[in-house]
Amino acid sequence: MNCSKDESVYLRLYYWMGQTLQEECTWCVVDNNQYEEEFKGFLETVHTAECFLQEGFPSCEEFLYRSLPLWDGVSCRSQILRLVSWIPLSTFSEMKSQLCDPLAQLFFTSSLYFKCSVLESLKELLQNWLNWHVVQLDSESDSQFSSLNTTLSGLVNGVAELINFVGQISTAALHLEKNHTFLLYFILDFYETVCDMYLKYKLPLLIMPPAGVFYPALLSMDSVNLNQLCYIMYRYRTNLVAA
């Protein structure tokens, strides 16, 4: 397909994939639960293809936006969250209403394990956006920077909004889970990516963890969490000095 210049090939693939995702979705179609294992296998295949291509499919993004408000957070959990990590960079206002808001509702009302899974997925989403940025910087062509969503300012705004969103739900989650060390580990793991964005990903952006994350980590009796926080603050300082 990468060797084909016929755009109809891509259009046919995206149309077929979009129709299949919608028709086989076990929580969007009545009496479709018996095919859940088959649907899981299809989602795994789609995710494998996205990892190979290092980009998400537009039809998957559209499917997630349509189906997440109806999702119970249980069916095909790991597969859905993996697909979330490959959503392309877009204007965050659109992404917030269609992805973040329904995901946050499930996040606050679900188990500790689900909260950690969502944080892991959002960390991978951030890393994929940052890796895309590095690839574009190394590319000789500037043609892909023409649209608003793919300019540096568009990327910075999108990344900043995503980080702030994670900071907000993390603060609330720590309060709900009474500063659970397992949850704090995943939150700090997210900020290990955030603290190194300037040096590692060449993105001129520095966002500190909110007080609701920093102080529980600082006052934690768990040595792993405290060690994570010390490393994160060291990397923040290194990036700030380099900037």
Q: Does a structural domain hold residue 24?
A: yes
> Last residue of a domain, which of 46, 64, 82?
64
- 55 & 97 share domain: no
Say whether pLDDT at 9 is over 70: yes
Residue 96: its pLDDT value, please? 84
Q: 54: phi > 0 → left, psi -120 to 50 → alpha, else beta; which?
A: left
- 28 & 143 share domain: no
By mean pLDDT, which of 11-15, 65-69, 167-171 is the weakest? 11-15
- 39 & 103 share domain: no
- 59 & 113 share domain: no
Distance of CA 19 to the CA centre of its chain: 24
Distance CA 119, CA 96 (A): 15
- 236 & 117 share domain: yes
Say whether pLDDT at 120 is over 80: yes
Using a pLDDT cut of 70, give the percent of the chain over it.
Answer: 89
How many CB atoms sit inside 10 A of residue 243's CB? 10
Q: Does a structural domain hold residue 170?
A: yes
Q: Does a structural domain hold residue 80?
A: no
- 60 & 95 share domain: no
Q: pLDDT tens-digit profile of 150-178?
A: 577 888 989 999 999 999 999 999 999 99
**Overall domain count for the chain:** 2
Q: Average pLDDT over the chain, rounded to whole?
A: 88
pTM over 0.95: no
Distance CA 133, CA 17 (A): 27
> Last residue of a domain, which of 64, 81, 111?
64
- 31 & 130 share domain: no
Quote the domain boundaries for residue 37.
1-64
